[in-house]
Structure 1
Amino acid sequence: MIRLVLRVAALLLALLLALPCHLLWRLLRLPSPWPTWFLGSVAWIIGARRRVIGTPLRRDVVFVSNHLSWMDIPILAGCNGSAFVAKAELRAVPLVGWLCTLNGTIFVRREDRMAVADQINALREALSEAWAITIFPEGTTGDGTALLPFKAALLAVLDPPPPGVLVQPVRVDYGAATGELAWVGDEPGTTHASRVLRRRGSFSATLHFCDPFDPHDFPGRKAIAAEARARIAAAGGGEAAASL
């Protein structure tokens, strides 16, 4: 219980430090580094000790990553500063939804086929501003032992690819702690967060940034999804072949 209280207090302190600075940067119309700093601090406070393999691109890139937990977001963002594509329901979560907007999160309703065109346009607009965006094409979190099938529809923004944009697959791996930290099944989000915050000690969070590729070389979102999935699988396990 003491560990939980201390970590929550540290998270609040990091927010109180970052938020005024972020608002000041916005007031001065300067690019704000504070959301990235805050998310990196969140990763450290919850016990993640980041290990990076490869070199992440900084702009004009769509990162395609496997997905283990909500922790993937602060761990990745603290490293590559990217925005994320997230379920629209997250926008309504008190405080969490608002914090997501600070990092430029793009909210989508995957079940709303009527709004697909608008969502793709929002992604293309973000990319046109030279953002880096991270997409989790599994569509849900896995247990870390194998990759789930990739949902190619989530890569519609790359069909056809915007000019100059590359795809960089990335493998997230929590090592020996994966079984404890992966968020699978019907566990409520608050329960999982509490379990993570109560966990003793730190854990290694390896981010393996694979070589980027030009999506023009793999015509169609299914081909792009297959290539990204194969590279992620080769970076650390999981079956390379599966239906998309």
Structure 2
Amino acid sequence: MRVALKGLRVIAHLLVGLLLAVFVAAYGKGRYSRENLGTWWYRVLLRILDVRLVISGQRLEGTRVMVCNHISWLDIPVVGACEPTRFVSKAEVGEWPVIGWLADAAGTFYLRRGSGGTRQLIESIDQHLGHDSIVFFPEGTTTDGSLVLKFQARLFATAIETRRPVQPIALRFSTAADGTATAPYIGDDVLLDNIIRLLKHGPITAELRYCEPIDPAGHDRASLALAAHTAICQVVAPDSIRTASPREPRNAIAA
């Protein structure tokens, strides 16, 4: 019964999100901040799911490029609950029912496959960084949180071109009280099954750490990606720290 009632609250909250999306699209452009509405919506969702948020580190003020290790679809509401921002996601997410509609309403930037997709995205992000920050997940896929995969370097170009600082964000989730790892969304996991698992096994904690920001000056995309990767690994997965390759000179990695 408890799981069913929480499930109904999740469904009701999704409907609220869709109604807000319709309202902002029809009447609220220029009057309401989709980022601020998104932060409120994410915080309520975390409360419904019994996800406790613990924040540490110093958030850099002003516009910046934030990068985060990727564990679950929960990463987005966790980061979005901390501050108003927008996200970069793979294009397929925009085609999902409900989730895609909510992503569109939140102003998500989509990375499309094929030639020119990255350049078009960077140009859109460059315009956005004039007044707000963005978040992307440079691993390109999710893990169980015990390691951090190599960061894809291409989107780091937007920080270099706009001269915006990069702030790495290290994220990890606790297990439930019975030891079940409910947060990771990996492999062949299904979104509905993952949500039911969260509701069934009870409260978890999401720990988010703002790492020291990195000045992109003097970096190329590869060295900037490696610097961000190292900063996050030092917090959540020291064994995943990589050394510079011959194409990533060591003297370019310092933050």
Would the TM-score normalized by the shorter structure come out above 0.5?
Answer: yes
Moved more, 179-188 or 132-141: 179-188
Verify the 8 A CA contact 1:36 1:103 in the aligned structure 2: no
Measure the CA separation in 2 of the matches of 1:174 and 1:116: 30
Q: Using the alignment, how far apart are the partners of 1:59 and 1:20 within structure 2? A: 30
Q: Does 1:169 align with 2:200?
A: no
CA contact (8 A) 1:144 1:179 kept: no
In structure 2, do the counterparts of structure 1 residues 185 and 62 end up closer, same or farther at CA, with 3 Å as the change threshold? same
Aligned twin of 2:80: 77
Shift of 1:21: 6.1
Rounded to whole Å, the distance in 1 between the matches of 2:157 and 2:44 is: 32
Q: How many residues align?
A: 237
Alignment partner of 1:37: what SS?
helix
1:175 positional shift? 2.6
**Which amino acid counterpart does residue 190 of structure 1 have in structure 2?**
L
> Post-superposition shift, 1:35?
1.6
Cα RMSD after superposing both structures: 2.4
Give the drift of 1:57.
3.2
Q: Within 5 Å, give how 1:47-126 maps onto structure 2.
A: 47-109=50-112, 111-126=113-128
Moved beyond 4 Å, runs of 4+: 15-22
User: Once the 2 structures are TM-superposed, how far is the Cα of residue 19 of structure 1 from its aligned partner?
Assistant: 5.9
Instruction: Answer whether contact 1:53 1:207 (CA < 8 A) is retained.
Output: yes
What amino acid is the match of 2:5?
L
Q: Which residue of structure 2 aligns with residue 13 of structure 1?
A: 12
Q: Which residue in the other structure is 2:181 paired with?
A: 179
Q: 3-state DSSP class of the match of 1:215?
A: coil
Distance 1:18 1:191 in 2: 21
Letter in 1 for 2:115: R
Q: Deviations over 1:130-178 (max 9, x none)?
A: 21111100100011111111111232323x3304x11110111113458
Offset at residue 85 of structure 1 (A): 0.5
Give SS of 1:161's match.
helix
Give TM-score scaled by structure 2 length: 0.83
SS of aligned partner of 1:181: coil
Does 1:26 pair with 2:28? yes
Cα distance in 2 for partners of 1:87, 1:58 equals 27
> 1:87 and 1:52, CA in 2 relative to 1: closer, same or farther beyond 3 A?
same
Unaligned runs of 5+ in 2: 249-255
Distance in structure 2 (CA, Å) of the matches to 1:189 and 1:15: 14
2:217 alignment partner, SS class: helix
Q: Could you tell me whether the CA contact under 8 Å between 1:58 and 1:80 is conserved in 2?
A: no
Whole-Å Cα distance in 2 between the matches of residues 157 and 195 of structure 1?
37
Residue 37 of structure 1 pairs with residue 40 of structure 2:
yes
Residues 88-138 of structure 1: per-residue CA shift (max 9 Å, x gap): 1111111111111222111111x312322211111112212x211111001
CA contact (8 A) 1:168 1:211 kept: yes
* Cα separation, 1, equivalents of 2:33 and 2:182: 37
2:233 is matched with: 233
Greater shift, 188-197 or 147-156, is seen at 188-197
